[in-house]
Amino acid sequence: MVNFRVFARAMSTIAKNFEVHQVVPDVIPKAPTALVHVKYNSGVEVNEGNVLTPTQVKDQPTITWDASPDTLYTVVMTDPDAPSRAEPTFREWHHWLVGNVPGTNVAAGDTLSQYVGSGPPQGTGLHRYVFLVYKQGRKLDFDEPRLTNRSGDNRGQFSISKFARKYALGNPIAGNFYQAEYDDYVPILYQQLGA
């Protein structure tokens, strides 16, 4: 049996944290009602705005949400604070984008942009890294270029809201986010991206 008080509290926490940290309206107009669980091989988990390091989040995470195995989803991780929260001229810089995900089997989806960990420039403070899950009505034919994790090209000035409108995805059904700032892993990531 569903404990509606726990569900209502979780739902209000997500909405509150998305607003307190201005994910709403900087990224999306309306907060999702469910949490996407994000866990990294380093052992850390994403928890509604907690602070993690680029070193901890360098590898693609495992993500789960309340999904139907017969339904397709789109998953995104995006940074609205590129190059900084004070001057987000590259808003958004997307780190990961996968469509046509059956249930929570991200590996079986169509990878549009391979995962790239957090790489906030030195001296730019905390960046928000937002995970969102959208429910698809059907299998989609995405016309975006396929991006590897070896280049930062075509990742900046992305808008998940525009992408969602383009493919009629509606509002995200689940989300989560963390914050991170520069650490010693960032130059290694920049080298990987050819920057």
Q: What are the domain boundaries of the chain? A: 4-192
Q: Is 185 exposed, middle or buried (0-12, 13-18, 19+ CB in 10 A)?
A: middle
The pLDDT value given to residue 156: 95
Q: Is 92 exposed, middle or buried (0-12, 13-18, 19+ CB in 10 A)?
A: buried
Q: Which residues pair with 102 in a beta bridge?
A: 72
Q: What is the rounded CA–CA span in Å between residue 81 and residue 18?
A: 15
Backbone angles phi and psi of 147, in degrees to 5? -115, 135
Six-digit token string for 102: 């059956």
The pLDDT value given to residue 12: 64
The pLDDT value given to residue 5: 52
The pLDDT value given to residue 8: 47
Q: What is the rounded CA–CA span in Å between residue 16 and residue 18?
A: 6
The pLDDT value given to residue 11: 52
Which are the contacts of 81, defined by CB distance < 8 A and separation ≥ 6?
Answer: 88, 91, 120, 124, 126, 127, 128
Q: What is the rounded CA–CA span in Å between residue 115 and residue 95?
A: 6
* One pLDDT digit (tens) per residue for the chain, 195 residues: 455 454 444 456 899 999 999 999 999 999 999 999 999 999 999 999 999 999 999 999 999 999 999 999 999 999 999 999 999 999 999 999 999 999 999 999 999 999 999 999 999 999 999 999 999 999 999 999 999 999 999 999 999 999 999 999 999 999 999 999 999 999 999 999 987
DSSP string, 155-179: -TT--HHHHHHHTT--S-SEEEEEE
Range 4-192 has CATH code 3.90.280.10: yes
Q: Pick from 48, 54, 12, 36: which is nearest to 132 by CA?
A: 36
Q: What is the rounded CA–CA span in Å between residue 70 and residue 52?
A: 33
